[in-house]
């Protein structure tokens, strides 16, 4: 990824997208709380609302904590502070950081980080479950026929996201 010029463009756009997403969600939540200053006495649990949709701010906050830990463990160390584990290696004639050593050492030496990353992946999956179909609902796909399909696609997508984030720490839990 370090030698791909597209990454240098996508990386700041992704960071900007996260910041906009976080700020916008806080604004929307604040407006919702302001519109209803007296909370309901009892939360009504229905089939139409999932736990993740009722708790998006909590899930978002937990995903944010996971993101900060992830950025500290990898991005900050790779880009700024360095680590003895990142000693250069030459691949196809290009000198690069040995990021495998950084990742593998973190997960081999700490069951806590392995479990934290698996939990973070699962929390992100729950967050994405609601966000995926909700985005399509915002675009107007909000009839009963489409929402049902989109919720199923969202569940499958969320499982793939959670599995994708969990597979590396699970590999090191199982292998070592």
Q: According to the model, what pLDDT value does residue 55 have? A: 79
Residue 23: inside a domain: no
Does 29 have pLDDT greater than 90? no
Among 50, 49, 57, 62, CA closest to 121: 62
Q: Which residue has the tokens 């992946």?
A: 121
Range of the domain at 61: 55-175
What local confidence, expressed as pLDDT, does residue 63 receive?
93
Where helices occur in the chain by DSSP H, the ranges are: 5-35, 51-54, 56-70, 99-109, 111-138, 144-175
Structure-block tokens of residue 122: 């699962």
Quickly count: other Cβ atoms within 10 Å of residue 172's Cβ: 20
Q: What is the pLDDT of residue 47?
A: 61
97 part of a folded domain? yes
Instruction: Give the Cα separation of 166 and 172 in Å (integer).
Output: 10
* CATH number, residue 146: 1.20.1300
pLDDT over 90 at 175, yes or no: no
Per-residue pLDDT of 59-100, as tens digits, reads 999 999 999 999 998 888 888 887 887 787 777 777 777 888
- Name, in order, each residue with C-beta under 8 angstroms of 58's C-beta and a sequence gap of 6 or more: none
Is 25 a domain residue? no
How many angstroms separate the CA atoms of 83 and 100, rounded?
12
Residue from 97, 98, 117 nearest 107 by CA: 117
Compute the mean pLDDT over every residue in the chain, rounded to the nearest whole number.
Answer: 85
Q: pTM to 2 decimals?
A: 0.79
- Report the alpha-carbon distance of residue 121 to residue 114 in Å, rounded: 11
Q: Flag whether 44 is in a domain.
A: no
Domain tally, the chain: 1
Q: What is the tens place of the pLDDT at every residue in 108-150?
A: 999 999 999 999 999 999 998 888 888 888 888 777 778 788 8
* Residue 13 domain-assigned (yes or no): no
Residue 50 belongs to a domain: no
């Amino acid at each position: 990824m370090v030698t791909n010029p597209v990454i240098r463009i996508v990386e700041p756009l992704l960071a900007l997208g996260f910041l906009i997403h976080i700020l916008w969600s806080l604004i929307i939540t604040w407006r919702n709380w302001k519109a209803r200053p007296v909370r309901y006495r009892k939360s009504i649990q229905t089939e139409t609302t999932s736990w993740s949709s009722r708790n998006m701010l909590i899930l978002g906050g937990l995903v944010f904590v996971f993101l900060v830990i992830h950025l500290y463990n990898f991005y900050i160390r790779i880009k700024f502070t360095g680590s003895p584990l990142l000693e250069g290696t030459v691949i196809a004639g290009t000198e690069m950081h040995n990021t495998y050593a950084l990742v593998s050492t973190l997960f081999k030496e700490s069951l806590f980080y392995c479990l934290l990353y698996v939990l973070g992946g699962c929390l992100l999956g729950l967050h994405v479950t609601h966000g995926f179909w909700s985005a399509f609902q915002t675009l107007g796909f909000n009839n009963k026929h489409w929402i049902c399909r989109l919720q199923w696609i969202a569940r499958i997508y969320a499982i793939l996201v959670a599995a994708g984030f969990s597979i590396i720490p699970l590999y090191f839990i199982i292998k070592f």
